[in-house]
Amino acid sequence: MCHAVPAKVTAVMEGEMAQVDLSGARKTVSTALVGPVAVGDYLLVHVGYALGRVDPDEAAETLRLLEEIGANT
């Protein structure tokens, strides 16, 4: 119920809506809660709304950290 999924913006639409690619499926979601978006942005989508964004730099940083922990063992 609280699980939002990452989705990539494929088109920006009228009225605070956007088309996103959600694991291969095309969906229309509201962006009223996140403000203006651009094609290529990653959003966290839940019950038809973008709730937040995925920050690509911070994601890369987490993956780097995970690899580093792995390398220590």
Partner 1 sequence: MKYVEDFRDGRIARQIAAQIAAEVQADRQYRLMEFCGGHTHAIFRYGVKDLLPPNVRMIHGPGCPVCVLPIGRLDMAIELAKRPGVTLCTYGDMLRVPGSRRQSLLKARAEGADVRMVASTLDALQLARANPEKHVVFFAIGFETTTPPTAVALKLARAERLENFSVFCNHVLTPAAITNILEAPEIRAMEAVEIDGFLGPAHVSVVIGAQPYEFFAEEFAKPVVIAGFEPLDVMQSILMLVRQINEGRAEVENQYIRAVTRHGNETAKALVAEVFELARNFEWRGLGDVPYSAFRIRDAYADYDAERRFGLSQGRAQENKACDCPKILRGAAIPTDCKLFGKQCTPQTPLGSCMVSDEGACAAYYKYGRRAAAPRMEAAE
User: Which residues contact partner 1 by CB under 8 A?
Assistant: 1-6, 8, 22-24, 30, 32-35, 42, 44, 46-49, 51-56, 58-59, 61-63, 65-67, 69-73
- Burial label for 72, CB within 10 Å (0-12, 13-18, 19+), is exposed
Closest separation in Å from C-beta 54 to partner 1:
5
In the bound state with partner 1, the residue whose beta carbon lies nearer, of 11 and 73, is 73
User: Rounded to whole angstroms, how far apart are CA atoms 73 and 39?
Assistant: 40
Closest separation in Å from C-beta 29 to partner 1:
8
User: Rounded to whole angstroms, how far apart are CA atoms 37 and 72?
Assistant: 39
